[in-house]
A and B are shown apart, each in its own frame.
Chain A
Amino acid sequence: MTADLVALRERIAAITARPRAGAPSPFGFPSPSGGGQGGGSRRLPPNCTEEATPFGTVAVRREWFPDDGSQEVGALSTCLGFAPDELRRPLFLDTETTGLSGGTGTVAFLVGLAWREGDGLALAQYFLCDFDQEQALLWAVGQCISQAGVLVSYNGRSFDWPLLQTRLVLQRARWPSPPHLDLLTLARRIFRPRLPDCALQTIEQSVLDLHRADDLPGSLIPSRYFAWLRQGDPRVLGPVFDHNQQDVLSMVVLLARFEALLGSSNEMHPLDRFGRARFLEARGFQVEAIREYQHLWREHQAGGALRATRGALGLRLARLLRREGRWQEARLVLEECWHTQTYPYPAAIELAKLLEHQARDPAAARRIVSEALRLLAVAVVSNAQWRADLERRQQRLERRLGRNESPGLALTG
Chain B
Amino acid sequence: MSIELALDRLLVQDEFRRHLTLDHTVPARPARYAGFPGALDPRLAEALAARGISRLYTHQAEAAALALAGKDVVVVTPTASGKTACYNLPVLQAMLRDPETRALYLFPTKALAQDQLAELHGLVGALKVDLKTYTYDGDTPVSARQAIRQAGHIVVTNPDMLHTGVLPHHTRWVKLFANLRYVVIDELHAYRGVFGSHLANVLRRLWRVCAFYDSHPVVICCSATIANPKELAERLTGRPITLVDDNGAPAGPKRLLFYNPPVINRELGIRRSSTLESQRIAETFLRAGVQTIVFGRTRLQVEILLSYLQQSLANRLGQSGTIRGYRGGYLPLQRREIEHGLRDGSVRGVVSTNALELGIDIGHLDAAVLCGYPGTIASAWQQIGRAGRRRGAAAAVYVASSSPLDQYLVNHPEYFLGRDPEQGLIDPDNLLILSAHLQAATFELPLSNGEAFGQAPVAELLRILEEDGAVHQAGDAWHWSADAFPAEGVSLRSANADNVVIVDVTRGARVVGEMDQFSAPTFLHEEAIYLHEGAQYHVDRLDWEEKKAYVRPVKVDYYTDANLAVSIKVLETFASRPAEQLTVHHGEVRVTALPTIFKKIRFHTHENVGSGPISLPEQQLHTTAFWLEIPAEVARQFPRPAMQGALQGVANVVSQVSCLFLMCDARDLGAYSETRAPHTGTPAVFVYERYPGGVGMSARLFETSTAVIVAAHDLVLSCGCESGCPSCVGPALEVGEEGKAVALRLLELAALVTAAAQ
- A interface residues, Cβ below 8 angstroms from B: 1, 3-6, 8-9, 11-12, 15-16, 31-36, 98-105, 107, 130-132, 165-166, 169-170, 222-223, 226, 229-230
Contact = CB atoms under 8 A, between A and B. Distances in A.
Nearest to B438: A1
Most chain B beta-carbon neighbours within 10 Å: one of A4, A5, A36: A5
Contacts of A131: 446, 472, 474-475, 477, 479, 481
B171 A104 contact: yes
B496 interface: yes
B356 interface: no
Contacts of B461: 12
Interface stretch (B85-93, B429-437, B603-611): B429-437
B443 interface: yes
A12 B457 contact: yes
A366 to B, nearest CB: 38
Given A5-B622, A98-B481, A99-B483, A229 B171 contact: no
Contacts of B497: 3
Contacts of A33: 475-476
Contacts of A98: 481-483
B436 A5 contact: no
B473 interface: yes
B445 interface: yes
Contacts of A4: 622, 692
Contact of A3 (B468, B483, B486, B498): B498
B343 interface: no
A229 B481 contact: yes
Contacts, number: 112
Contacts of B474: 32, 130-132
A11 B435 CA distance: 13
B480 interface: yes
Contacts of A165: 171
A102 B435 CA distance: 22
What does DSSP make chain B's interface, helix, strand, loop or mixed? mixed
Nearest to B478: A131
A15 B464 contact: yes
Contacts of B477: 131-132
Nearest to A225: B481
A230 B468 CA distance: 11
A107 to B, nearest CB: 8
B444 interface: yes
Interface residues of B, number: 50
B755 interface: no
Contacts of A8: 431-432, 435, 464
Interface of B: 168-172, 174, 431-432, 435-436, 439, 442-446, 457, 460-461, 463-465, 467-470, 472-477, 479-486, 488, 495-498, 590, 622-623, 692-693
A226 B469 contact: yes
Contact of B460 (A16, A130, A132): A16
Nearest to B213: A169
A229 B693 CA distance: 34
A211 to B, nearest CB: 28
Given A5-B432, A99-B483, 14 more contacts: A4-B622, A6-B590, A8-B431, A11-B467, A33-B476, A35-B475, A98-B482, A99-B485, A102-B169, A103-B168, A103-B169, A131-B481, A132-B477, A166-B171
B435 A101 contact: no
B64 to A, nearest CB: 34
B442 A105 contact: yes
Contacts of B590: 6
A349 to B, nearest CB: 27
B169 A104 contact: yes
A103 B443 contact: yes
A12 B464 contact: yes
A31 B481 contact: no
B445 A104 contact: yes
A12 B484 CA distance: 23
A105 B169 contact: no
A229 B488 CA distance: 25
Contacts of B444: 104-105
B469 A230 contact: yes
Given A3-B498, A103-B485, A130 B171 contact: no
Nearest to A8: B431
B174 A169 contact: yes
A132 B692 CA distance: 37
Given A11-B464, A132-B474, A170-B171, A1 B439 contact: yes
Contacts of A229: 472, 481
A346 to B, nearest CB: 25
B464 A5 contact: no
Given A15-B463, A98-B481, A103-B485, A3 B432 contact: yes
